[in-house]
Structure 1
Amino acid sequence: MMNNFDDLQKLGKDNMDVMMQSFGTVTKGFQAIASEVADYQKKSFEEGSAAVEKFAAAKSLDKAFEVQSDYAKSAYEGFVGEVTKLGEMFSDIAREAYKPYESAFAKVAK
């Protein structure tokens, strides 16, 4: 009887360790994503401000359209690149958070 209690206690401790490892990985991942988003927002704001300055300094309507279209193109490309990067970061978080469970499942399957 005592052996079963010890086994149950060890299993509970092992499960808590796995959960805490996974939680730590997710927390670090979301911190990295928050930092990435903040950096992107800062960069995007700076680029937008520079585009407004160029737009205001344009001497002709053609130049203003050129500035606006260049900014729209670079903003779109930057956004698509950032979304792709964030998608990869979320995938990495999921993959890393699952790793501790893989070993736990392997122990149970034996």
Structure 2
Amino acid sequence: MPDTTYIFGAVATMAIVTFALRAIPFAVLKPLRSSALVAYLGIYMPAGIMLILVMYSLKNVSVTGPSHGIPELVAVAVTAGIHLWRKNAVLSIVVGTALYVGMVNTVFA
């Protein structure tokens, strides 16, 4: 069994590292609030990330398959349309996903 001093040292080291990992983001956050780069990324990153996610989701869609990519195309169009109309990401994602799952399991089954 390890020595008591060793155990207390290990626990103290873990506590210090855990506290530091939790505190560092708050210490770094204040200078970043006034950064022009962070403001720029805050404006343009969400659209870029969504575009990357859509492209990744559609990379294996086969237009020569039985459904010819129709469920995917319709679901993406409906998701984009609802998002542009209501400006609600959760609503557009839920409706687009439900439409896709419904089409794949009923219309194109």
Same fold flag (TM > 0.5)? no
Name the structure, 1 or 2, with higher relative contact order (CA <8 Å, separation 6+): 1
- Which of structures 1 and 2 has the bigger CA Rg? 1
TM tier, smaller: 0.3 to 0.5
